[in-house]
Amino acid sequence: MIKRSTLRSQIATALRDEILAGRLATGRDFTVKEIAEQYGVSATPVREALVDLAAQGLLDVEQHRGFRVHEFTLADYRAMCEARELVVDGVFQGIEGSADGADAAAESAGMSVARRATGGLGPQTLASVRRRADAAERAARAGDLDVLIAYDLRFWRELSGLLGNPYVCDFLDRLRIQCWVYAVPVLRRHPSLRGRLWSGHNALLDAVESGDARAAREVIATYNQHALAQVGAEHHA
């Protein structure tokens, strides 16, 4: 028998994937009963899963009516991209400062990301991130949006996890999911995405592994510029 907490998590994950794929469209209303019938489960874990997704900013609670997939705007998307860049930039800023010859205290605070990542985790974890990067890049080059999203989210979760700060990891994961929720329907308007999607995952991982904070920040900046240009251009097309 599946535990209710596990069922709750499974339903939340399934619905999140439906939203990311655009099968639960932005602005769509639905009820707990509707979702419970769809998955053949009781209402309680469904309600709990929907509340979880609402807390993540993916659903709006419609008083006495159910839930609605949240509608993000282009302004929201720009703000989310800015927020994630600021957070990641802050993570690497101290590291870059130490590379420029700061004092010992700054050097300690800005310890190499590579050393922090491998401390206690070992090469196996880094190899796993590399596999995610390879898969994400293949999907990006092929224009396979659904596959890209799956591997892109896993890549960033594992990469953020190497930093050893679960709060930063959770925050960035939430931002990435929200960004994809906005971007997917916009990108799907284009007849082909082959060669149009960002594929710099390995370049970023190379910088992180080598402890090159400046290179990592440059890759992140380039990625955000690409994301804003791609979605912004499609939005106004």
- Give residue-wise pLDDT tens across range 77-89: 999 999 988 888 7
Query: Do 135 and 207 lie in a common domain?
Result: yes
Least-confidence region, from 38-47, 84-93, 114-123, 228-237 = 114-123
pLDDT at residue 164 in the model: 73
Least-confidence region, from 8-12, 102-106, 144-148 = 102-106
Measured distance CA(128)–CA(158) in Å, rounded: 8
Domain termination site, one of 54, 69, 84: 69
Q: What value does the mean pLDDT take over residues 82-106?
A: 64
Q: Where are the alpha helices (DSSP H) in the chain?
A: 4-21, 32-39, 43-55, 74-99, 104-109, 113-118, 122-142, 145-161, 166-187, 201-210, 213-236
Cβ atoms within 10 A of the Cβ of 3, count? 9
Domain termination site, one of 15, 36, 69: 69
Query: Do 31 and 96 lie in a common domain?
Result: no
Query: Do 201 and 128 lie in a common domain?
Result: yes
Query: Do 182 and 98 lie in a common domain?
Result: yes
The model's pTM: 0.83
Mean pLDDT, the chain, as a whole number? 83
Query: Do 122 and 218 lie in a common domain?
Result: yes
CATH code of residue 149? 1.20.120.530
Domain hosting residue 19, numbered range: 4-69
Domains in the chain: how many in total?
A: 2
